[in-house]
């Protein structure tokens, strides 16, 4: 009997423990469920819904099937008796749509050139702001201001600054031209204006400049925080060993910033994939199709042209592109970042 | 006694209620807010800003004006209609979008008493019968009359010190151009030339993508692509084949591309809102625009060329492409005059899903009233051009506004010649118009930017137009297009 009592106690504890675990599990689910429901309703459901739409012929004001049925006076009967067809035509069109290919090429340009410019200048600025100098606090705040500006405002500022005729930059350039033409021996005649936004290649570069002006401070902020987290004694030890400033930058600062660099480049890369606002305000996607981005093309396709199904198909193509970018980038990151820091 | 008390109570109530009822009658729309939507800027939206307070004062209603950039206006409004969000009560929109707004029933049919209020007999038949209605139902009020015209520096072109030199070089007298060939001869002659006001460009044409600039290209295309006696210009009325890549249209695009080198380099990024700023500064000889530049050119606050601007109908083609015969035709007169009724004008509609339709129609009638639009048409920068007989007949109105008499006659004559011309080209006005236009817009700006040739650009546009037509239903589109141009098949 005693034995039985001894055996019962742990069993009771186990049962009690199981009860607590079950209760815990239930409560966890109760507390998590609102967030999960919101996520399902606002993110996952629309994602699958638009995936479904991308395989149909649904347009604004009815599907193609519906319109054909209307004009021939018969009742539309498509997929499972619905008034739309299930089709692969949207995905097929992705391969033939030249405008889409140009938009994709432009977007990749914005991503790769933009991220490079922003990272390099962001790092340089962070190095400067990491030094002790008078007024450092104020300078830091001033450097952060573009980041707080709305992209549409950045676009309008850009339009004013990069007007080939009437802008501070155009004025400066005119003075430069006048000075350059007067320089003995090497002075030569230059174009009176620069086609910042009127020539395709220049316009792409100008868009990158505007986006970089706004987002370099973000890169600077993250990298500066990283630099300040590096313990001073590492640098002191290096100095004792006779390391130069350049050596310390290459061997200590840059490797220790690698995880943050990876994060900041990934965030900016993904953000630039979605660039639209600055472009809409400055060039409207032109000249020609030189600055049209994928997001802008999707926006036009869905909301101007009312071609919801094709816009959904392109959105998924963009999603695939972004996933590939992120996977390749993270794969490379694993190789480049020192073990233990990744 | 009870009866007396009851009588007193009723009397008191009547006395207390009568003033408030009268106040209600005085301000019939007190507490009602109308959301008006149109394009951003002073043009078109400006008059609403200026005059809404007067209507609010009269009726007790409240007007909220929401403005969107031209490139976003269609998306914003059609999305609101599509989703039934009821965001807007009254819309001031381009007549060209009627197929997308009126055909699906997004707009409320205009009540007869509202139409009676604004004297419809005074409206020019083109605007009254074809622009504001879909089928037999009137859905909007006429507000603005729109057609493209040519502006030129008459102090340079009409005789003057350059006449002899020009004639010696080109073999004919320097005068207002009647054909596009003459237009480019004159532009080339003057481009880069030093004048009293400094160096001048030959032309100034809006070319920016995603704006209203593509209408300027349509104006070039009309002269080369419109067949006299055949109203079908954008598509064949037989089977909806796009005509946009036929040789007439290609030649027009080659001309338009030529304008790039004969105008300010920045014009490739200019919309008409920009050219309206720069042309009055005396930067170029020619400008193509709606009637807006006339009143702006006489406003001394913004214009350096007051009294020096000539007004003329658009030049025509010295040949036109007959797509039915598949050949170039030289007209007997030497010019294929084909003025382009670009846009058709801004018109005012009321959303079918508005909760304040009565108030919205009342405000629409207030803005479209004959006296109101008469005043707006002579005021620079309002975006309102004449669309009523009374506006054309009242020469005093234009002279009082600052035109000299000769200029006023020229200006009104140029507009009337365009809208009354038997070979005038009506703007596209079918379901999907915005998509057809924007697809073409992208291709022509690509050709301007040198990405592709004119022929390639227009072949791409034609393929895209065919795809849109098939997607929207070819038979439906054909029926709409035929109806919109008045094609009877005879």
In the prediction, which pLDDT does B256 show? 97
Asked whether B262 and B202 are in contact (CB, 8 A), the reply is: yes
Q: What integer pLDDT is reported at residue B366 of this predicted model? A: 97
- At B133, list the tokens: 């209605």
Q: Which of B78, B449, B473 sits opposite A286 (nearest CB)?
A: B449
The tens digit of pLDDT for each residue in A73-107 reads 777 677 777 778 899 999 999 999 988 999 999 99
> For residue A280, which residues of chain B lie inside 8 Å, CB to CB?
69, 71-72, 210
Which chain B residues have any C-beta within 8 angstroms of a chain A C-beta?
69, 71-72, 74-75, 78-79, 82, 104, 208-211, 264-266, 268-269, 431-432, 434-435, 438, 442, 445-451, 460, 468, 470-476, 479
Average pLDDT value for residue range A265-270: 95
In chain B, % of residues over pLDDT 90: 73
Among the residue ranges A124-133, B19-28, B447-456, B480-489, the one predicted with the least confidence is: B19-28
Q: Do A285 and B210 touch (CB under 8 A)?
A: yes
Given a contact cutoff of 8 angstroms between Cβ atoms, the answer to whether B271 and B212 are in contact is yes
Q: What local confidence, expressed as pLDDT, does residue A1 receive?
A: 42
Q: Burial level of B307, CB count in 10 A (0-12/13-18/19+)?
A: middle
CB contact under 8 A, A289 and B265: no
Residue A2 scores a pLDDT above 50: no
Distance from CA of A27 to the nearest CA of B (A): 39
List, for residues B320-337, the tens digit of each pLDDT value: 999 999 999 999 999 999
B265:A198 CB<8 A: yes
Could you read off the pLDDT of B134-188 as tens digits, one per residue? 888 999 999 998 889 999 999 999 978 899 999 999 999 999 999 999 999 999 9
What is the predicted ipTM? 0.70
Assess contact for B162 and B188: CB atoms under 8 A: no
Q: Please give the share of chain A, as a percent, with pLDDT higher than 90.
A: 57
User: d(Cα B374, Cα B362) in Å, to the nearest integer?
Assistant: 18
Res A10: pLDDT = 54
What is the phi/psi pair of residue A162, to 5°? -105, 15
**Of residues A98, A193, A284, nearest to B208 (C-beta):** A284
The whole-angstrom distance between A165's CA and the closest CA on chain B is 8
DSSP alpha helix (H) spans, A130-253: 136-148, 151-161, 168-181, 200-229, 232-240, 245-248
Judge: A71–B431 Cβ closer than 8 Å, yes or no: no
Q: How far is B445 from chain A (nearest CA, A)?
A: 4
**Which chain A residues have a beta carbon less than 8 Å from that of B268?**
198, 286-287
The answer to whether A307 contacts B471, with C-beta atoms less than 8 Å apart, is yes
* pLDDT for the residue B281: 93
Minimal Cα distance from A292: which residue of B?
A: B442
- Quick one: pLDDT at residue A5? 47
State how far the Cα of B158 lies from the Cα of A237, in Å rounded to an integer. 85
Vertex A187: Cα angle to A185 and A189 (nearest 5): 135
For residue B22, what pLDDT is reported? Answer: 47
Q: Given an 8 Å threshold on Cβ–Cβ distance, is A59 in contact with B451?
A: no
The pLDDT, as a whole number, for residue A153 is 93
Chain A CB contacts of B456 below 8 Å:
none
* Alpha helices (H) in B60-120, listed in sequence order: 70-83, 98-101, 112-117
Give B78's contacts in chain A (Cβ within 8 Å).
60, 303, 306
CA distance B155 to B395: 23
3-state SS assignment for residue B63:
strand
- The answer on pLDDT for B24 being more than 80 is no
Helix (H, G, I), strand (E, B) or coil at A206: helix
pLDDT band at B290 (very low <50, low <70, confident <90, very high): very high
| Number of C-beta neighbours around residue A48 at 10 A | 11
Evaluate the CA torsion angle B47, B48, B49, B53 in order and state its sign: positive
In chain A, the DSSP E strands lie at none
Say if the Cβ atoms of A286 and B82 lie within 8 Å.
Answer: no
β B33-39/B62-68 pair status: parallel
- Which residues lie closer than 8 Å to A208 by C-beta, 6 or more apart? A109, A110, A113, A114, A117
Distances (CA, A) of A120 to A27, A134, A254: 49, 25, 12
Q: Does pLDDT of B132 surpass 50?
A: yes
CA angle A148-A149-A153, nearest 5°? 170
pLDDT computed for residue B62 by the predictor: 97
The pLDDT value given to residue A173: 94
pLDDT in tens, B239-284: 999 999 999 999 999 999 999 999 988 888 888 988 999 999 999 9
A136-150, A257-271, B219-233 — which is least confidently predicted? Answer: A136-150
Residue labelled with tokens 């051009």: B385
Contacts of A59 in chain B (CB under 8 A): 471-472
Could B79 and A72 be called an inter-chain contact, meaning their C-beta atoms sit closer than 8 Å? no
**DSSP-assigned beta bridge partners for residue B36:** B65, B90
- Tell me how many residue pairs between chain A and chain B have CB atoms under 8 A apart: 108
Whether the pLDDT of residue A311 is over 80: the answer is: yes
**pLDDT in the model for residue B265:** 81
Nearest to B471 among A64, A98, A299 (CB): A64
pLDDT digits (tens, 9 = 90+) for A182-217: 888 787 888 888 889 888 899 999 999 999 999 999
Chain B nearest CA to A224, separation (Å): 39
Indicate left, alpha or beta for B450 from its phi (over 0: left) and psi (-120 to 50: alpha).
Answer: left
Chain A residues whose beta carbon lies within 8 Å of the beta carbon of residue B442: 99, 285, 288-289, 292
Residues 6+ apart with CB under 8 A from B18: none
pLDDT confidence bin for B8, thresholds 50/70/90 = low
Partner residue facing A286 (CB), from B209, B265, B266: B209
How far away is chain A from the Cα of B442, in angstroms, using its nearest Cα? Answer: 6
Please indicate whether, in this complex, the C-beta atoms of A61 and B104 are within 8 angstroms of each other: yes
Helix, strand, or coil here: B175? coil
Does residue B9 come out as left (phi exceeding 0), alpha (psi in the -120 to 50 range) or beta?
alpha
pLDDT tens column, B111-121? 999 999 999 99
For residue A17, pLDDT over 90 is answered with: no
3-class SS of residue B59: helix
Q: Tell me which chain B residue has its CA closest to the CA of residue A67.
A: B473
Residue B289, beta-bridge partner list: B149
CB contact under 8 A, A287 and B449: yes
Residues of chain B with CATH 3.40.190.10: 28-142+346-384, 149-342+423-485
Nearest-neighbour CA in chain A from B110: distance (Å):
23
Look at B449 and A290 and tell me if their CB atoms are within 8 Å: yes
Residues in chain B with CB shorter than 8 Å from the CB of A64 are: 470-473
Q: What is the pLDDT of residue A339?
A: 63
> What pairs with residue B341 in β-bridges?
B426
Helices B45-59 and B357-367 cross at an angle (nearest 10°) of 120
The whole-angstrom separation of Cα B150 and Cα B314 is: 5
Name the average pLDDT for chain A.
Answer: 87
* Chain A residues contacting B via beta carbons under 8 Å: 57, 59-61, 64, 67-68, 70-72, 98-99, 163-165, 193, 195, 197-200, 280, 283-290, 292, 299-300, 303-307
- Mean pLDDT on B103-132: 91
| N-term to C-term CA, chain B | 86
CA of B471: which chain A residue's CA is closest?
A: A64
Cis amide linkage into residue B88, ω under 30° from 0: no
Percent pLDDT > 70 in chain B is: 95
| A72 token code pair | 């021939």
> Which of B14-23, B232-241, B343-352 shows the lowest mean pLDDT across its residues?
B14-23
Is it the case that residue A13 has pLDDT exceeding 80? no
pLDDT at residue B15, rounded to an integer: 53
- Rounded to an integer, the average pLDDT of A116-122 is 97
Chain B residue numbers with beta carbons less than 8 Å from the beta carbon of A165 are: 264, 266
Report the gap between the CA of A83 and the closest CA in chain B (Å).
Answer: 14
- Band of residue A18 on the pLDDT scale cut at 50, 70, 90: low
For residues B278 and B259, what is the distance between their CA atoms, to the nearest angstrom? 16
Residue for token digits 């979008």? B97
Q: Tens digit of pLDDT for each residue in B187-214?
A: 999 999 998 888 899 999 999 888 889 9
CATH class of the structural domain B28-142+346-384: alpha beta
Chain A residues inside the 8 Å CB shell of B474: 71
Question: Which chain A residues are Cβ-neighbours of B82 within 8 angstroms?
Answer: 60-61, 306
Q: Answer yes or no: do B78 and A306 touch at CB < 8 A.
A: yes
DSSP state of A88: S
The CATH superfamily holding the domain B149-342+423-485 is: Periplasmic binding protein-like II (3.40.190.10)
Contacts 24+ apart (CB under 8 A), B20-23: none
Nearest to B438 among A60, A280, A300 (CB): A300
Strands (E), B313-403: 320-322, 327-329, 340-341, 346-350
Task: Tell me the pLDDT of chain B averaged across its residues.
Answer: 91
Distances (CA, A) of B94 to A100, A262, B206, B401: 28, 49, 18, 26
Element containing residue B390 per DSSP (H, E): helix B389-393
Mention every residue, 6+ apart, whose C-beta is less than 8 A from residue A308.
A53, A58, A59, A60, A302
The pLDDT tens digits of the residues spanning B44-64 come to 999 999 999 999 999 999 999
**What's the whole-number mean pLDDT along residues B427-443?**
91
Give the count of beta carbons closer than 10 Å to the beta carbon of residue A47: 14
Of B71, B446, B473, the CB nearest to A284: B71
CA–CA min distance B144, chain A (Å) = 24
Q: Can you give the pTM of this predicted structure?
A: 0.79
Q: Which of B441, B176, B42, B54 is nearest to A287 (CA)?
A: B441
């Amino acid at each position: 009997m005693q034995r039985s009592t001894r055996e019962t106690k742990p069993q009771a504890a186990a049962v009690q423990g199981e009860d607590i675990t079950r209760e815990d599990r239930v409560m966890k689910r109760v507390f998590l469920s609102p967030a999960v429901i919101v996520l399902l309703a606002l993110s996952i459901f629309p994602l699958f819904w638009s995936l479904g739409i991308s395989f149909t012929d649904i347009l604004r004001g009815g599907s193609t099937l519906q319109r054909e049925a209307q004009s021939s006076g018969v009742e539309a009967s498509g997929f499972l008796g619905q008034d739309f067809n299930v089709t692969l035509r949207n995905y097929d069109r992705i391969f033939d749509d030249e405008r889409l290919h140009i938009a994709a090429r432009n977007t990749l340009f914005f991503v790769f050139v933009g991220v490079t410019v922003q990272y390099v200048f962001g790092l340089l600025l962070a190095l400067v702001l990491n030094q002790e100098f008078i007024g450092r606090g104020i300078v830091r705040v001033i450097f952060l201001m573009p980041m707080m500006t709305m992209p549409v405002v950045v676009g309008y500022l850009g339009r004013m600054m990069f007007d080939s005729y009437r802008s501070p930059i155009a004025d400066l350039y005119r003075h430069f031209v006048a000075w350059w033409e007067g320089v003995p021996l090497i002075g030569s005649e230059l174009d009176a204006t620069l086609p910042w936004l009127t020539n395709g290649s220049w316009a792409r570069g100008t868009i990158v400049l505007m986006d970089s002006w706004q987002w370099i401070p973000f890169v600077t902020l993250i990298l500066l925080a990283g630099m300040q987290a590096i313990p001073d004694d590492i640098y002191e030890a290096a100095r004792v060993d006779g390391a130069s400033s350049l050596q310390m930058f290459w061997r200590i600062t840059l490797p220790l910033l690698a995880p943050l660099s990876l994060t900041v480049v990934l965030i900016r890369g993904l953000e630039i994939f979605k660039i639209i606002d600055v472009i809409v305000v400055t060039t409207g996607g032109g000249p020609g199709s030189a600055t049209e981005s994928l997001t802008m093309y999707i926006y036009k396709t869905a909301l101007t042209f009312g071609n919801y199904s094709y816009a959904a198909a392109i959105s998924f193509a963009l999603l695939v592109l972004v996933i590939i970018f992120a996977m390749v980038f993270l794969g490379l990151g694993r190789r480049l970042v020192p073990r233990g820091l990744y | 006694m009870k009866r007396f008390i009851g009588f007193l109570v009723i009397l008191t109530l009547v006395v207390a209620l009568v003033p408030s009822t009268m106040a209600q009658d005085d301000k019939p729309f007190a507490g009602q807010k109308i959301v008006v939507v149109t394009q951003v800027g002073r043009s078109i939206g400006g008059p609403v800003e200026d005059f809404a307070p007067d209507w609010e004062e009269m009726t007790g209603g409240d007007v909220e004006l929401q403005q969107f950039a031209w490139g976003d206006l269609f998306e914003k409004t059609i999305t609101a209609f599509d989703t039934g969000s009821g965001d807007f009560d009254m819309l001031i929109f381009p007549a060209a979008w009627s197929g997308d707004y009126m055909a699906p029933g997004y707009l409320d049919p205009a009540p007869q008493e509202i139409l009676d209020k604004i004297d419809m007999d005074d409206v020019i038949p083109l605007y009254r019968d074809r622009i504001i209605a879909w089928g037999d139902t009137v859905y909007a009020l006429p507000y603005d009359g729109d057609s493209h015209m040519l502006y030129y520096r008459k102090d340079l072109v009409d005789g003057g010190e350059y006449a002899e030199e020009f004639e010696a070089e080109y073999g004919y007298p320097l005068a207002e151009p009647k054909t596009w060939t003459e237009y480019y001869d004159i532009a080339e002659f003057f481009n880069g030339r030093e004048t009293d006001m400094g160096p001048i460009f030959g032309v100034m044409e809006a070319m920016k993508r995603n704006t209203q600039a593509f209408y300027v290209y349509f104006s070039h295309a009309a002269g080369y692509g419109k067949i006299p006696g055949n109203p079908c210009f954008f598509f064949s009325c037989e089977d909806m084949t796009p005509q946009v890549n036929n040789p007439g249209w290609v030649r027009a695009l080659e001309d338009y591309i030529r304008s790039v080198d004969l105008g300010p380099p920045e014009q490739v990024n200019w919309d008409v809102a920009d050219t309206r700023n720069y042309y009055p500064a005396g930067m170029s000889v020619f400008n193509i625009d709606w009637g807006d530049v006339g009143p702006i050119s006489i406003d001394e606050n913004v214009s350096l060329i007051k009294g020096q601007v000539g007004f003329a109908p658009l030049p025509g083609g010295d040949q036109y492409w007959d797509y039915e015969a598949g050949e170039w035709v030289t007209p007997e007169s030497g010019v294929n005059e084909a003025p382009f009724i670009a846009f058709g004008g801004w018109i005012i509609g009321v959303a079918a899903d508005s909760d304040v339709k009565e108030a919205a129609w009342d405000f629409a009638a207030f803005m479209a009233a004959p006296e109101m639009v008469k005043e707006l048409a002579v005021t620079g920068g309002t975006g309102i051009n004449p669309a009523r007989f009374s506006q054309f007949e009242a020469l005093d109105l234009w002279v009082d506004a600052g035109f000299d008499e000769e200029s006023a006659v020229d200006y009104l004559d140029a507009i009337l010649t365009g809208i009354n011309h038997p070979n005038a080209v009506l703007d596209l006005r079918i379901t999907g118009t915005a998509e057809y236009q924007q697809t073409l817009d992208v291709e022509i700006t690509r050709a301007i930017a040198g990405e592709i040739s004119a022929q390639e650009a227009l072949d791409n546009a034609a393929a895209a137009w065919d795809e849109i037509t098939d997607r929207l239903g070819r038979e439906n589109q054909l029926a709409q297009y035929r109806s919109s141009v008045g094609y009877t098949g005879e």
